Chain A
Amino acid sequence: MSSHRPPEWDRLAATPQFHALLRAKSAFVVPACLFFCAYYFALPVLVGYFPAFMNRRVLGPLNIAYLFALSQFVMAWLIAFLYTRAARRFDAMAEEVVRLNGANEGTRAQ
């Protein structure tokens, strides 16, 4: 699997560019995961333990429970959209790290 000259993993891992990539990624992914878990688990918790509140009608026959369940779809799509947009930045940062590989050597086989 490895070629003649394996990538310089440890040197790349120590570069400021790679650290910046990891920081940028976790700055998005960690809050996004915490948020979607909190938002999602709020649904069974609220419906299970506060059924009267969730059954309150707010839009014709539609109650809070149904609208909140529908909003979960919007939430999931929104986070996916925001991540796709942020990931373009991560891709550019990752390419920069890849360019550093073998930067102080002559030629490199692809």
Chain B
Amino acid sequence: MNAPLLIFLAFVALTLAITAWAARRSSGAASFFAAGRRITGWQNGLAVAGDYMSAASFLGIAGLIAFNGYDGFMYSVGWLVAYLTVLLVVAEPLRNAGKYTMADILAYRLSPRPVRAMAALATLTVSTFYMIAQMVGAGALVSLLLKDSGISYTTAVTGVGLLMIVYVVFGGMLATTWVQIVKAVLLMAGTLLLSVLVLGHFGYSFAAFFDAVAHVRYTVNGLPVEQDFFTPGLKYKPPYGALDLISLGMALIFGTAGLPHILIRFYTVPDARTARVSVVWAMAIIGAFYVMTTFLGFGAATIVGRDFITTHGGINMSAPLLAQALGGDTFFAFISAVAFATILAVVAGLTISASSSFSHDFWSNVVHHGSPRGPYEEVRVARITAFVVGVVAIALAILLGPGANVAFLVGLAFAVAASANLPAIVLSIFWKRFNTAGAVAALGAGLASSILLILIGPSVRGPANALFPLENPGIVSIPIGFAAAVLATLASGDRTSEAKFAELQVRGNTGLGAEKPTAH
């Protein structure tokens, strides 16, 4: 057994202990779906960060910067700025007016059955796409990080899947929250340590570090090259590079506030004020992390080098290889374990988001018309859903295999969130005239256009055969989502939704009548 595996098993043991503790405390729906609404501001801030920063952030962005310099760093900026939309527009009214899922705020004054059915479809789509990307990534990582331990891709994927099922089925939102908190602390500690070691490598001199970044050496087609890595345009090139970046930025800025697994985190705090505080905590942590990608990415470029990374596992190994170069095998083991912890916390968040939406939105409100069938029915259905979602995700990830190109699935999740979920949420909060037809149209058109544009785009068909030139469909699909919402609203002439607009406004802005934390 090797060191990364031991450290990872220690993390698994800790999270299982958390799950056992949470299972004993947990009873009832508010407890299972929303951790009893008793998570504090800083705890939820850490959990949001842990829910959000995926393996793509940790390994992917470090690699993007190590290989493409500035363009990779610019890519990371949008992941923080996106939280301003969450903070200023969505978090507080959602907490005040909703209960367990994203669809609650849509169903508040619109016709619940069609709206919840569409919202559940969008939530399940976003969650499963995102989850499959994480699972395939987890499996592929194993072959790189733990290649001496004899653990195969299938074993790794099954292990990650089973763990997320255990967290959610037994520990519900409370266990998920604490797994995310532990992960966020580990990730920040690892990143901070790595950053300090990078600076130490340059004698703690920013001048020496930045000077090295301006003179990065590697080989292209066998010829040595020296490149200033602060130069923009090494990755995003004409004719469509800039447009693709703008489109990605739109998906991040409008999509983060429409990601169901992030939104449901705001139901775990006692009130809207705490929800706000938790977004600010999350912004401090997420921002600090992305600023430090400067050290991770540029550090890997200057200390390890593109050539070495290419021959030792490829672009996604940039951060672990940097850890190995600076801190030896033990630090490599720690950083590898952090990468796994990162994936586990994110998939747990996605699983509970998918299962609460299926149970609360689809089962209770669409199939059973909102009439409760016993107090534990909703939780029981959610547990079964979590199990099914987990098994399906394991099966799909094994079928796709470690070589599958799944990075576009994360982009797809953000595109759907930005083009379908966000228009529906924002218009239902702010536009009195908005009605059921508008919400269904926004969700349907946003979902369909995002999927279609990705299917005919370069990620799926390859750059040569693409019928749509951009990897990120946001710049087209987001306006389609909003336009569909407005046109369908005006065309339908249904004005019944206006009756409860005053109620939603007062409740959303004052918290009057909002769900209370459970007495415990």
Contacts and interface: CB of A to CB of B under 8 A. Distances in A.
B290 interface: yes
A110 to B, nearest CB: 9
B230 A13 contact: no
B26 to A, nearest CB: 22
Interface residues of B, number: 52
B62 interface: no
Interface residues of A, number: 53
Contact of B228 (A2, A10, A61): A61
A106 to B, nearest CB: 19
B291 A77 contact: no
Nearest to B73: A69
Interface in A72-110: 72-73, 75-77, 79-81, 83-84, 87, 91, 94-95, 97-98, 101
Interface of B: 70, 73-74, 77-78, 80-81, 83-85, 87-89, 207, 210-211, 213-214, 228, 230-233, 236, 241-243, 245-246, 249, 253, 273, 276-277, 279-280, 283-284, 287, 290-291, 500, 502-503, 505-507, 509-513
Given A13-B505, A98-B510, 7 more contacts: A12-B502, A40-B77, A40-B249, A44-B242, A44-B249, A61-B211, A84-B277
Contacts of A45: 242, 246
B321 to A, nearest CB: 24
A54 B80 CA distance: 22
Given A76-B83, A84-B276, A13 B506 contact: yes
Nearest to A90: B509
Nearest to A17: B510
Given A25-B509, A73-B290, A47 B233 contact: yes
A75 B232 CA distance: 21
B84 A98 contact: no
Contacts of A60: 207, 210-211
Contacts of B510: 12, 18, 21, 94-95, 97-98
A41 B161 CA distance: 38
A55 B231 contact: yes
Nearest to A39: B81
Contacts, number: 149
Given A9-B502, A22-B505, A76 B70 contact: no
14 contacts: A2-B513, A6-B513, A9-B506, A10-B503, A12-B512, A13-B503, A41-B246, A43-B77, A43-B249, A44-B242, A61-B214, A65-B232, A76-B287, A97-B509
Contacts of B228: 61
Nearest to B209: A61
A44 to B, nearest CB: 4
Given A45-B246, A61-B230, A76-B81, A22 B283 contact: no
A103 to B, nearest CB: 13
Interface string A11-45: 01110001001100100010011001100110111
Nearest to B290: A73
B100 to A, nearest CB: 12
Q: Which 4 A-B pairs have the closest CB atoms?
A: A48-B242, A13-B502, A61-B214, A9-B503
A73 B291 contact: yes
A48 B230 contact: no
B372 to A, nearest CB: 11
Contacts of A54: 232
Contacts of A98: 510-512
A20 to B, nearest CB: 11
Nearest to B273: A91
A29 B230 CA distance: 34
Given A44-B246, A62-B210, A65-B70, A9 B280 contact: no
B284 A77 contact: yes
B80 A76 contact: yes
